[in-house]
Amino acid sequence: MYGSSDMVKVFIPVFICMLIVVLCVRNIEVYSDDHVIPAPYVIYREMDAEPTTRLWQSFINAGLLVGIIIVATCFIVCLFYLRCFYCLFGFVILATFSLLTVVSCIQYHKILEKIDMPVSLVLVFILHYNFVVLAMMAIFWKGPLRVQQTTLIVVSAVITLTLMELLPKWTTWTLLIIIAVWDLIAVLTPCGPLKILVDIAEKRGDDLMPVLIYSGSVFLSQVTEGQKQNENGKSCLPNHEPTNRPSPAAALKSLNMRNSISTSEEESRSIRLGLGDFIFYSLLVGTATATSDWATTLACCVSILTGLGFTLVLLVILQQALPALPISIVFGVVAYFGSKLAMSSMILEFNRKLILV
């Protein structure tokens, strides 16, 4: 069973990630203006188009992006089924290294340029080099869990800010809705790739522990003594050091790409949230911040956390892997349009007439 402390361990990092995105969007124009950087996977940029035209263009853009996600997920499931763990491990290392170096440096440059802070390139290189090395060691080898958690939050925020630069606003809202539907299909339906991934792992007795996943517990990588046996018939003894990380093969046996909260009686008590959930939560809040006022932003934040709370309650009741996006995304979208169309106008009218509630 999970308690309130376990829920807080997930709420706090989600809120921190959303807060980072909100502060960047509010203070850096490139994340909030209508200018969209050209990208090969964004066919239509929705510039100066009619609402109906923007709508169908946004569906095409979002459909293409979700299609890429589906193909990538199925490819990873195939590699997992074929036990190509080292190929998966190399792919994840390459992707994480690219995010921590190239993509992160681009966002750091935009932030430093906006705040007009003179810095030494040598100093930035040394600091960033140490951060990347420490982050890679914490994720893929050994290191403090706090460092791993901080790294995953930073990576989520960087990806979110990059998406906000590349995606038009209408495409973003359409993408959020479609990805929530895909999350349901991928995790809950028998033919869903993530459902298949979980079933294969349970059938083989593999430990389903994704590399890029946020854990609220330091005991995520531990197993109970005598709980499992490896394929050679030797028992897997528990690891009592909270800083240990799984080997490449063990880590990649569970590349559950993004967004499922999972629990198992065979694992230590821990709520695990996919990195994609952080990204799409923050993308919703960031888009709301860019297109509306503080009241709407706050309403979206509260709605997302409320939806996550409902998902955790269902997790305790159903005792199976659940998608973390659908409820929170639905709550967030409803809160955004409801606040923008009704609550914001009401607050402005109250302020104009000096009415206190």
Catalytic residues: 183, 277
Distances (CA, A) of 235 to 223, 225, 228, 268, 269: 11, 8, 6, 17, 21
Token digits of residue 53: 């035209």
CA dihedral of residues 240, 91, 151, 245 (deg, nearest 10): 10
In DSSP notation, 268-317 reads -S--EEEHHHHHHHHHHHHHHHHHS-HHHHHHHHHHHHHHHHHHHHHHHH
Residue 214: phi and psi, rounded to 5, are -90, 130
Question: Can you tell me the distance from the alpha carbon of 85 to that of 207, in angstroms, rounded to the nearest whole number?
Answer: 13
Question: Can you tell me the distance from the alpha carbon of 205 to that of 200, in angstroms, rounded to the nearest whole number?
Answer: 8
- CB-based burial, 70-94: b 16+ in 10 Å, e otherwise: eeebeebbebbeeeebeebbebbbe
Token digits of residue 97: 């290294």
Distances (CA, A) of 215 to 74, 90, 199, 324: 24, 22, 21, 14
Residue 262: phi and psi, rounded to 5, are -125, 155
